[in-house]
Amino acid sequence: MNLYHIQNLEHYFQVYRHSVDAPEQFWAQIAQDNFVWQKPWNTILNWNPDTAEVRWFEGAQLNITENCLDRHLETRGDKTAILFEPNDPNDPAEHITYKELHTRVCKFANVLKDKGIKKGDRICIYLPMIPELAIAVLACARIGAIHSVVFAGFSATALSTRINDAECSMVITSDGSFRGSKTIDLKGIVDEALEDTPTIENVLVVKRIHSDIVMKEGRDYLVQPLLDVASGDCPIEVMDAEDPLFILYTSGSTGKPKGMVHTTAGYMVYSAYTFKNVFQYQEDDVYWCTADIGWITGHSYIVYGPLANGATTVMYEGVPSYPDWGRFWEVVQKHKITQFYTAPTAIRALAKENLEFVEKYNLSSLKVLGTVGEPINEEAWHWYNDNIGKKRSPIVDTWWQTETGGIMISPIPFATPTIPTFATLPLPGIQPALMDEHGKEILGNQVDGRLCIKFPWPSMARTIWGNHQRYIDTYFSAFAKKYFTGDGAFRDATGYYRITGRVDDVIIVSGHNLGTAPIEDAINEHPAVAESAIVGFPHDIKGNALYGYVILKETGETRNHENLRKEINQVITEKIGPIAKLDKIQFTIGLPKTRSGKIMRRILRKIAHGESDQLGDISTLLNPEVVEAVIKEAL
C-alpha cells in the first residue's frame, strides 16, 4: 500500500485505518521511505500526556534543507523551486531553480555564520514576500539557527515583544516593502522596535524599495555586499530530530503572544506528507499559496512542504487588488497555476467585485482549489467553485492551526467528496474527538462538541517558548490527556467535520487570529479609557470584525467621540498593527459582569450581533442594570 500518495476514497480509508491502528509504524514507514536521514531514529514516539511532552523520531539526525534542496539537485536541479511574482505586474517574474536556490541559501547561511550565528541562536525575520524571505528561513535551518518570522504588517511594539520573548540576536529585514501602490518603511519600524531589545547584536538589511534608510554603525549591514563575497557552499548542520526548527507567535486569549515551538523531524515529515496529499501535487504542477510566510500557512505550504516534495512554489509579493481585482487570475493564467490556496476573506473580497475581472482570464490550468484560516461560508464556497474552479476543481477546506504545524482535517482531492462548509475527514494519523462540557467524549454522529485530538501527530508544537506550563494549561488541561484546539465542531451523519468557530476568546478577523486581551490592553493604555471589552460581530468580507465597548474615565467623557475613536484605533495600530483595528466603538457606562467580576462577553456578543432580544437569563449578573444601557447605546 502506498502510504505517501493517496489516490482515492477506498485508498484513504485503508491508509487511515492503518494510521490509527498502528500510528507509530505508519509514521515510521513514511519517514523512512520519503526523506533523507543522517542517522535513523531509536524510538518513533515518546509521549507523556501528563507533562504534555512529545518527541518523535528520537535519536534521528537530519537537516531539513538537505531534504528541501540538496536531494533534488541531481533530479530537479534546473526545475523552478520558487517562482517569484513581484508586486508590479510590469516587473518580470523570477524563476529560481533548485540549483540557484541551493546556492543562494548556502551563501546566506555563510553570511549568518560570519556574523557569529550558530546552532540554537534565535533570528527574527521581518521581511516582505520576496525571495530573500524564503532564503533567510532556509539559511537559518541550514545552520541550525531557530527562525522566528514576524509578519511584516506587525507594529514596532509587536515586533519588539516577539524579539525580546525569544531573545533574538539578529533581525533580518529590508529597507521597505511594496504593497500595491504603497510602500512601507520596514527599516524604520525595525529601528523603532530595536530601541528596547537588548539581545539584538546585528541587523541585516535587504534592499527592496531602494529608499533612504539610516544604518546604525556596527549594528546594521546591507546583506548584498556580504552575499557577493560569500561562498555558495555551506555544509548542513546535523540536527537532532527534536531540535527546534522555528518559533512562530500566535495570539492567545490572554496575555502576551505564544511562541509556538516546532521541531525538525516531525514537522518536516508532516508538512511534506500533507502537502503531497491535500494538493495532490504532480511533478510539473505550479502551486500557489497566497498566504504570507509570516503565518504558519506560509511556513508549511509555501516553503517547507512544497520544497520537501520538489515542487514549484509561487511567492506573490503584492495584494489581491493591485493593480486591479483581476490580479490573482492574471497570475493564474500567466504561470498556469495548477493548485491555488487562499483564505475565505480573500474569496469574499474578490466575489464582491465584477465577474469581468475573472472572466478576462484563462483559468483552465487549475486542478485543485484550497481555503484556510476560518470557516468558509456557503456563498463564498459556491462563488469559488462556480467561477474559479468552474465546478471541475475540488475545493479543499483545510482546517488546522499554528499549533498543529500542518493540515489536520481536509478533503483529499479526487478522493473525498466535498460539501460546502465541511472540512470533511481527518487526514491519516489524526484522531479527532468531540468533547462535552464535562470532559466526556461525545460518541456517534450528528453531534456538536469541543474539538480535541486524542493522539499525537508528528508536527504538533512541542511547547511555548520559555513557558511549558502555559502550553500545558492552554492545550492539555481542559480535557485530560487530549490536545484541545479551542474550536467547536459538528460531526455529521457520515462522520464529516464542520468547524463551527472558536469557543474561547480568540476572534478570527480576515483569517488572522486575534486575542481579545492584548487588544483590550492596548485600548486601556489610552489616557481617557477606564476599561474595555472586545467581541466579534459578523462582517461580509472579514468574516468577523471587532466591536469594542469602552468605558471612559470621567475626564475623557466630554471629549469628541469621533476623535476618541480615531485615537483608540491609532493606539491599537501602534501596539499591535492595523489588522487589530476596531470597526465599531461603543462608549458605555458599564460592562455586564459576573459576581466574580468576569466580563460576560456572551451578552456583549449578542448585543453586537443585534440580538439583544436573545440575552437569556441575566439575573445572576453583578450589575444587570447596565445591560439596558448598553443595549440602548448599541451601534
**Chain residues in the site for ligand PRX (CB under 6 A):** 250, 296-297, 372-375, 397-402, 423, 485-487, 499, 502, 508, 513
Question: Nearer to ligand PRX by C-beta: 35 or 383?
Answer: 383
- Is 242 or 374 the residue whose CB approaches ligand PRX more closely? 374
| Minimum CB distance to ligand PRX, residue 291 (Å) | 8
Using CA atoms, how far apart are residues 214 and 219, in angstroms rounded to an integer?
A: 11
What is the nearest approach in angstroms of ligand PRX to the Cβ of residue 512?
Answer: 7
CB 498 within 8 A of CB 376: no
Which is nearer to ligand PRX, 292 or 374 (by Cβ)? 374
* Min CB(522)–ligand PRX separation in Å: 19
475: helix, coil or strand?
A: helix
Distance CA 157, CA 521 (A): 13
Residues 508/373, Cβ–Cβ less than 8 Å: yes
Which is nearer to ligand PRX, 171 or 289 (by Cβ)? Answer: 289
Q: Nearest distance from residue 518's CB to ligand PRX, in Å?
A: 14
Q: Which 3 state secondary structure label does DSSP give 505? A: coil
CB of 545 to ligand PRX, least distance (A): 16
**CB-facing half-sphere around the CA of 326: CA atoms within 13 A:** 14
Query: In terms of DSSP bridges, do strands 53-58 and 43-48 run parallel, antiparallel, or are they unpaired?
Result: antiparallel
- Please say whether the beta carbons of 499 and 425 come within 8 A: no
Cβ contacts of 72-80, under 8 Å, gap ≥ 24? 72/98, 72/310, 73/98, 73/99, 73/102, 75/310, 76/310, 79/310, 79/312, 80/286, 80/312
- In the complex, the smallest distance separating the C-beta of residue 403 from ligand PRX, rounded to whole angstroms, is 7
Cell of 466: 520559555
The nearer residue to ligand PRX, 3 or 423, going by C-beta atoms, is 423
Please, what is the minimum distance in Å from the beta carbon of residue 297 to ligand PRX? 5
Of 131 and 375, which CB lies nearer to ligand PRX in the complex structure?
A: 375
- C-beta closer to ligand PRX: residue 456 or 592: 456
Quickly list DSSP for 38-106: SB--SEEEEEETTTTEEEEEET-EE-HHHHHTGGGHHHHTTSEEEEEE-SSTTSPPEEEEHHHHHHHHH
Q: What is the length of the chain?
A: 635
Q: Which is nearer to ligand PRX, 412 or 499 (CB)?
A: 499
- Alpha-carbon distance of 472 to 483, in angstroms, equals 9
Instruction: Give the Cα separation of 41 and 27 in Å (integer).
Output: 12
CB of 260 to ligand PRX, least distance (A): 8
Task: Give the shortest CB-402-to-ligand PRX separation in angstroms.
Answer: 3
Residue 303 burial by Cβ neighbours in a 10 Å radius (0-12, 13-18, 19+) = buried
In whole angstroms, the minimum distance from the beta carbon of 487 to ligand PRX comes to 5
Q: Distance between CA 407 and CA 278 in Å, rounded?
A: 8
Packing angle between helix 156-166 and helix 186-193, nearest 10 degrees?
Answer: 50
Dihedral over alpha carbons 342, 345, 348, 352 (to 10 degrees) = -110
Q: How far is the CB of 300 from ligand PRX (least distance, A)?
A: 8
Can you say whether the dihedral through the CA atoms of 308, 314, 320, 325 is positive or negative? negative
Q: Distance between CA atoms of 429 and 435, rounded to whole angstroms?
A: 19
Q: How far apart are the first and last CA of the chain?
A: 59
Nearer to ligand PRX, 319 or 503 (CB): 503
Nearer to ligand PRX, 175 or 487 (CB): 487
How near is the Cβ of 137 to ligand PRX at its closest, in Å? 17
User: Measured from the CB atom, is 502 or 542 closer to ligand PRX?
Assistant: 502
Q: Based on CB atoms, which residue is closest to ligand PRX, 250 or 385?
A: 250
Shortest spacing between CB 398 and ligand PRX, in angstroms: 5
Pick between residue 326 and residue 373 the one whose CB is nearest to ligand PRX: 373
Radius of gyration of the chain (CA): 24
Q: Give 312-348 as a 3 state SS string.
A: EEEEECCCCCCCCCCHHHHHHHHHCCCEEEECHHHHH
Q: Indicate the pairing of strand 339-342 with strand 286-289.
A: parallel
